[in-house]
Amino acid sequence: MHVVHPPKLSDAAAADHSPELLRTYQTWKGSNIFFLGGRFIFGPDVGSVFLSMFLIVAPVAVFCAFVARKLIDDFSHNLGVLILVVAIVFTCYVIILLLMTSGRDPGIIPRNAHPPQPETTDQGIEVGPGQTPQLRLPRVKEVVVNGMTVKVKYCDTCMLYRPPRCSHCSICDNCVERFDHHCPWVGQCIGRRNYRFFFMFVSSATLLCIYVFSFCWVYAIRIMHSENTSIWRALIKTPASIVLIIYTFLAVWFVGGLTIFHLYLISTNQSTYENFRYRYDRSENPYNRGIFGNFMEVFWTSIPPSKNNFRALVPREPKPPTRVSGGSFVNSDIQKVPSDVEMGSMKPIRKNEATGGDDGGAGGGRRASLGRSGSWDLQSEIASITGIGYSDRFSRGGSSGSLGGSVEVPVK
């Protein structure tokens, strides 16, 4: 007797049934831009990093070519060479700090795939016989930090309760630990994992401006003494020094002002966001450890590892269609403009994200309520897409005058 065995699937056919694996950075839902296979993460405005590099390197190149090179002959014992070398090395150091600030994870908190389990019933919704009561998530929770009560908010975009001092950046579209601000000059959020490098970058840029400014004056004064003329006539003989003196004078007000401001923030253990939004008194700031303790926290504590492995392999997320009560399907990529804007300008949420406002849609925004089954009630949006009129919705949705469970929009 012959037994016919079923044909074996080839490797190619078996591979078709296996889920497609991608790197985490390839499925990233934020607005970040990745380089070198997810090894470096930047904000969406990464182009400003190259502008910042040019604003640093260009004046130093002019200084080395027209000022420091002339000082080599004016100073003995290789002091002029040292001036040139220090300028080049210091510039490289500032550029490295810029890249360490802009090219690393600032402290992004991974998004949840599903919202947490609702806890309270929405009393504003009438429940008919045989229907499940609508549950909602509390917008704010209270936690205790150093004996003081701190309120934490729910983020509709990331579907999580933000830890204390965490905020959602509307530019990068991520929740960031100890969010300070989004810096357009470095093209990145400033948070828990890169604030130290940001301050070192700003303060080092201030010292570099002072260095170039000072030696431009030194060169002009040496011309004045060697030719026995006035300082203004000496400056005319070195136009590069005039340009650099004006440039560094203006720049030092900007980066120097930032350095002084952040020295104040570090000494009081505040972030830029907290300083602009809240008004802490000494007795009210639950994070203040004293000046010495605050500086220790910023500069002498280990930087925590990233919560994201951008190179990890993850399966591609499916995009199921949304079924409407007539058998038709609509696209679930419904975009909204959230009120959950912490820093930066408002912008639409990316596709494939069902989001709501930070205050539950207050201020005229559309409200998306979360039910027990995890589906969002987007009645007006579905009706506008499918062209169903108000009277049709009554006839199709039942006597309650709503879609009444005939619309399912999956939340990812």
Catalytic positions, written as ranges? 183
Whole-angstrom distance, CA of residue 342 vs CA of residue 363: 16
In 3D, which of 45, 269, 86, 276 has the Cα closest to residue 173? 45
In 3D, which of 90, 307, 298, 55 has the Cα closest to residue 194? 298
Question: Burial letters for 7-23: b for 16+ Cβ neighbours within 10 Å, e otherwise?
Answer: eeeeeeeeeeeeeeeeb
Residues in the chain: 412
Helices marked H in 181-340 — which ranges? 195-227, 231-236, 239-268, 272-277, 291-299
Please report, for residues 226, 234, 396, the alpha-carbon distance to residue 229 in angstroms, rounded to integers and kept in the order given.
8, 7, 93
DSSP codes joined into one string, 141-182: EEEEETTEEEEEEEETTTTEEPPTT-EEETTTTEEETT--EE
Kindly state the tokens that stand for 236: 């005319």
- Are 171 and 347 in contact by the 8 Å Cβ rule? The answer is yes
Q: Is 91 exposed, middle or buried (0-12, 13-18, 19+ CB in 10 A)?
A: buried
Would you tell me the crossing angle of helices 47-63 and 79-102 to the nearest 10 degrees? 180
Kindly state the tokens that stand for 382: 């579905």
- Are 67 and 219 in contact by the 8 Å Cβ rule? The answer is yes
